[in-house]
Structure 1
Amino acid sequence: MLRNKFSTILFLLLLSFISCKEPTEVLVPKSDDGQVFAIDMGDSEIPYLVITTDGEIPYEPGVPARMKIYQQKKLIQEQRIDIEYRGKTSFRLSDKKSFNFETIDESGEDVDVSFFGLAEEEDWRLIGHVVNLQEKYAWDRSLIFNHVAYRLSLEIGKYASRGLFVEVEVNGEYLGVYYFCEKLKRDSERIDIKSLKPSSENISGGYILKIDKSDAGPEHDGKPLSYFMGNWEDDARYTEFNSFRSDFGISGQLLDFSPFGASYHPMLFQETYFNYEYPKAEDLTADQKTFIQNYINQFEQSLLEEPIPGQAPNYLEYIELNSFLDYFIINELCRNVDAYRISTFLTKDRDGKLAMGPVWDFNIGFDEGERIPANDWVINYNNYVGEDPWMVPFWWSKLLEDETFKQELKERWAFFRKGPLSESNIQGIIDSSVNQLIQNGAIERNYEKWDQGIGVNYEESISNLKSFLTDRISWMDSEIGSM
């Protein structure tokens, strides 16, 4: 009885002591406008995006949201947006999702907006590197593949998506480092070609085509995320409405079977499809579709013609040669395994010729992946990967056999090597990007979120990237110099 009474007195004294103690202050990272952040960025100068959606983020179409942009915890811009997930294979494989977003006004209407000094537009991208936590792998551990490739393209004078590194928080969850960049689209400040409307009398341009996996199409709008996580069949579902097929197989032979077969049919690897990117398929007239199909066919036929000694090759009547050379140079230098066969853009301006580019999507470029040796051309992809649903068209092997193309490539490569493609300039682009990310703590924060047993050694990834580029440049010097 006495022991119980003593215990009670002791407990009351302890409780009294606790209640009289000064409360402990819990530090919460906040902005100048009172926004509570998911993490503490310290004094990081890298822009920090806080996105709050009005509901679950879909694959398509998007959901309204509000985006606040902070720098050193100070609100610098606020914008209403419409956001959705993006990507095909990357969307399905990666736990770190990427996003498309459009800028809208308070009534939900599209509105052009400038971010970080970039030209006003309504369509933007937030690209994250691929991370698969279940299978413990990550593509582009450096986080800078796209930035380096796009920057090199811009420096040789060819438009590529412009952007910068940001960190992103969505609905209170920190998602890490992203590349905030422009969507590739027709615009005077992006892909600068003339507009083409159903009423246009001159239908010679402008067109944007894309050699790529097929788009799901508007008929899939509103389907649950679970559908898009497993809709691999849609990637190879080409139709006469959304695309057209080359008349020729990947070796330049005339195809003797009908286009638009079942998804992943056995002969798909022989086919090259051109998706209508701009105008959209539903905005193209039958005459416009026929025009661009015939133009591609005439170019391909001219490329397959035997050269006549002493005469310029006929294919030059159809293409902007420098655009083909520059597309080849950037994708080969960066060893973009997806180049030529997917994520490949082509344009034709009004009264102009067919042009390659802009370059896009380098998440399995540089030293990533093992499909192609580091000492061979990406255009030789077909020699190493048998019957992939998406193979490299015959164009590039024919071009690399042509004396005119080889001579122009040699001169252009030598010219760029003295400036934008010098090793010192390339290494400088890498160093400035890496220093920015490391010094502002972004790499540490990103991999605290996304390593989770993968075992990322960031310093090693940068060392490997630099070594790869040194070796690749040396190899290309030798190969192109001996043409």
Structure 2
Amino acid sequence: MLKIKHFFLVIFVLIFINCSKDEPVDSQETKPLVSAIDIGNSELPYIKIKTISSVLNEPKIAGEMEIYINQKRVLNSTIGIEYRGSTSYRISDKKSFGIETRDASGKGKDVSILGFPAEEDWILTGDVFQAPNTIFDRTLMYHYLGYELFRNMGNYSSRSKFVEVELNGVYIGIYVLMEKLKRGPDRINIESLIAADTDAAKITGGYILKIDKTSGSDVLGTHPLSYYDTNWDDDCRYTEFNSFRSNYDINRNRIAFPAYGAPYHSNKYLETYFVYDYPKAETINAAQKAYIKNYVNDFETALLTDNFSTNTRTYTNYIDRKSFIDFFIINELAGNIDGYRLSTYMHKARGGKLKMGPIWDLNIGYGTGGRVPVNDWIINYNNYVTNDAWMVPFWWKRLMEDPQFRSELKSRWTELRTNTLSTPKVLELTTNTSNYLTNNNAIIRNYTKWTGINYNYNNSVTELKTYLTNRLAWMDSKIASF
């Protein structure tokens, strides 16, 4: 009897390993799609995910991911999967996921997905949907369009593709598969910085900082899932461990009150915190913390003290001004209400200057986010919202006071408007993207799943095109006077 049990145990292990391949499937092994919903001849990649238990906010649980193109399997990988996001996690019925591709032993493994450079960290982003009919991005294109335009401007942005997703046998609609922002040669290309690095030359880079909330799977995520359904304080729990504070408030005054106050304290709106993204808070050492904090402080001080009536600038010793200009342009074109104050990335290579970007999280924008009129700059957010926990830092209004910055911005805008950001080019990208989703009937499947109706998608696309046309023209009129 023991030998028989041993025999069946060996057979089970062999079957499990064979079904948990972490490499793309060879074309000779292609497997036809058996899906939870009839997708016809859709060209959108179809992702099937199976997990060993319910998905959590933290930690990632084990599972398997298969990807099909034209109904034939092109990839089969063991994965870890978790929910991601902070506010969007709490309020959205259509949640986003963080995915790690793994080998059979459960260790992270770099895998090329849908032609993207091989890596192990990926995101499936769903549009924020709250029953019965609250939808932040009715076109499903906000992220994708912004990322494509920013990349077309010559910058790195997360490579992204539309997919349809099935989770544990249930169809959950259109998602955008995208690269997670992280350090790496094919992502944010800065040098590795480890805990043992204290040499003065080495600790000049690389760093990735965020102006952002402190909750979500990338920052905290150590509590049971139910904790995050109602807890909002952790969005605003800044500590010496995870961040450092600007020496200056949003009104350009030096801050006199202590840093790291209680979440949502009465003066929080005045503060700007920089969250450690790379190196992570768990690994960044004291010398590295001191270096990057002092660097940002020196930049801010130079920006405030430079005399813009002269030709001399010292703040440009600290920042790559072109990256700030491109970041400004894409946030303003997208009308990104969270721009500059949330989901805002910056990075610094070794021996290099601080750069803004990559662009991230554009789901509250394109004229639908409110708070700032469509005929004003998003950098003027503080004029309309007086006591948000996350306000726009003083950097942007101060930069716009600099004639040199405005002149360089005008030249860059004029260059981009002749090609990459010409109105026909922007509208062509919008049309081609919406046609791809509608011609493959993915829009019908997505909205039937989440609203139960055949949603009038064309109206939303028309509204988006109208917004883009008007916003480009408005930016033309404003920048022409610089």
Q: State the TM-score, normalizing by the size of structure 1.
A: 0.91
Q: From 168, 173, 178, give the equivalent of 1:171.
A: 168
For residues 330-349 of structure 1, the aligned pairs below 5 Å read 330-349=330-349
The letter of the residue matching 2:463 is N
In structure 2, the partner of 1:37 is: 35
> How far, CA to CA, are the matches of 2:354 and 2:34 in structure 1?
51
For residues 35-434 of structure 1, the aligned pairs below 5 Å read 36-134=34-132, 136-200=133-197, 201=199, 202-215=202-215, 221=221, 223-307=223-307, 309-434=309-434
Q: Structure 1, residues 360-402: CA drift from partner, whole Å, max 9, x if none?
A: 0000011222111111000000011120000000000000111
Q: How many residues align?
A: 451
Whether contact under 8 Å (1:62, 1:83) holds in the other structure is: yes
The letter of the residue matching 1:384 is Y
Q: Which has the larger radius of gyration?
A: 1
Whether contact under 8 Å (1:141, 1:456) holds in the other structure is: no
CA separation of 1:32 and 1:308: change in aligned 2, threshold 3 A: closer
Deviation at 1:228, TM superposition (A): 1.5
> How far, CA to CA, are the matches of 1:219 and 1:320 in structure 2?
27
Q: Structure 1, residues 383-426: CA drift from partner, whole Å, max 9, x if none?
A: 11120000000000000111110000000000000010001111
Deviation at 1:254, TM superposition (A): 0.8
> How far, CA to CA, are the matches of 1:293 and 1:91 in structure 2?
31
Q: Structure 1, residues 216-260: CA drift from partner, whole Å, max 9, x if none?
A: 689965532211112211000000010000011101111110000
Whether contact under 8 Å (2:306, 2:314) holds in the other structure is: no
In structure 2, the partner of 1:481 is: 480
Q: Structure 1, residues 137-170: CA drift from partner, whole Å, max 9, x if none?
A: 1011000111100000000101100010000000
In structure 2, the partner of 1:28 is: none
CA separation of 1:392 and 1:220: change in aligned 2, threshold 3 A: closer
> How far, CA to CA, are the matches of 1:390 and 1:71 in structure 2?
42
Identity percentage of aligned residues: 49
Whether contact under 8 Å (1:367, 1:464) holds in the other structure is: no
CA separation of 1:397 and 1:222: change in aligned 2, threshold 3 A: closer
> How far, CA to CA, are the matches of 1:220 and 1:383 in structure 2?
32
> How far, CA to CA, are the matches of 1:121 and 1:169 in structure 2?
22
The 3-state SS of whatever aligns with 2:258 is coil
Whether contact under 8 Å (2:214, 2:220) holds in the other structure is: no
> How far, CA to CA, are the matches of 2:188 and 2:219 in structure 1?
27
CA separation of 1:482 and 1:447: change in aligned 2, threshold 3 A: same
Q: Structure 1, residues 308-350: CA drift from partner, whole Å, max 9, x if none?
A: 5442321111100000000000100111110100000010110
> How far, CA to CA, are the matches of 1:219 and 1:426 in structure 2?
35
> How far, CA to CA, are the matches of 2:237 and 2:50 in structure 1?
34
Whether contact under 8 Å (1:32, 1:73) holds in the other structure is: no
CA separation of 1:217 and 1:366: change in aligned 2, threshold 3 A: closer
> How far, CA to CA, are the matches of 1:295 and 1:368 in structure 2?
36
Whether contact under 8 Å (1:42, 1:72) holds in the other structure is: no
Deviation at 1:35, TM superposition (A): 5.4
The letter of the residue matching 2:99 is F
> How far, CA to CA, are the matches of 2:206 and 2:121 in structure 1?
19
Q: Structure 1, residues 29-80: CA drift from partner, whole Å, max 9, x if none?
A: xx97465311000111100001000111010110011011112221111111
In structure 2, the partner of 1:16 is: none
Structure 2's unaligned 5+ residue stretches are 1-28
In structure 1, the partner of 2:463 is: 464
Q: Structure 1, residues 71-92: CA drift from partner, whole Å, max 9, x if none?
A: 2221111111100001111111
The 3-state SS of whatever aligns with 2:346 is strand
The 3-state SS of whatever aligns with 2:326 is helix
Whether contact under 8 Å (1:133, 1:452) holds in the other structure is: no
Q: Structure 1, residues 114-152: CA drift from partner, whole Å, max 9, x if none?
A: 011100000000001010005x31011000111100000
The letter of the residue matching 2:370 is E
> How far, CA to CA, are the matches of 1:219 and 1:160 in structure 2?
21
Deviation at 1:354, TM superposition (A): 0.7
Structure 1's unaligned 5+ residue stretches are 1-30
> How far, CA to CA, are the matches of 1:303 and 1:33 in structure 2?
59
The root-mean-square deviation of aligned C-alpha atoms, in Å, is: 1.6
The 3-state SS of whatever aligns with 1:37 is coil
Whether contact under 8 Å (1:236, 1:264) holds in the other structure is: yes
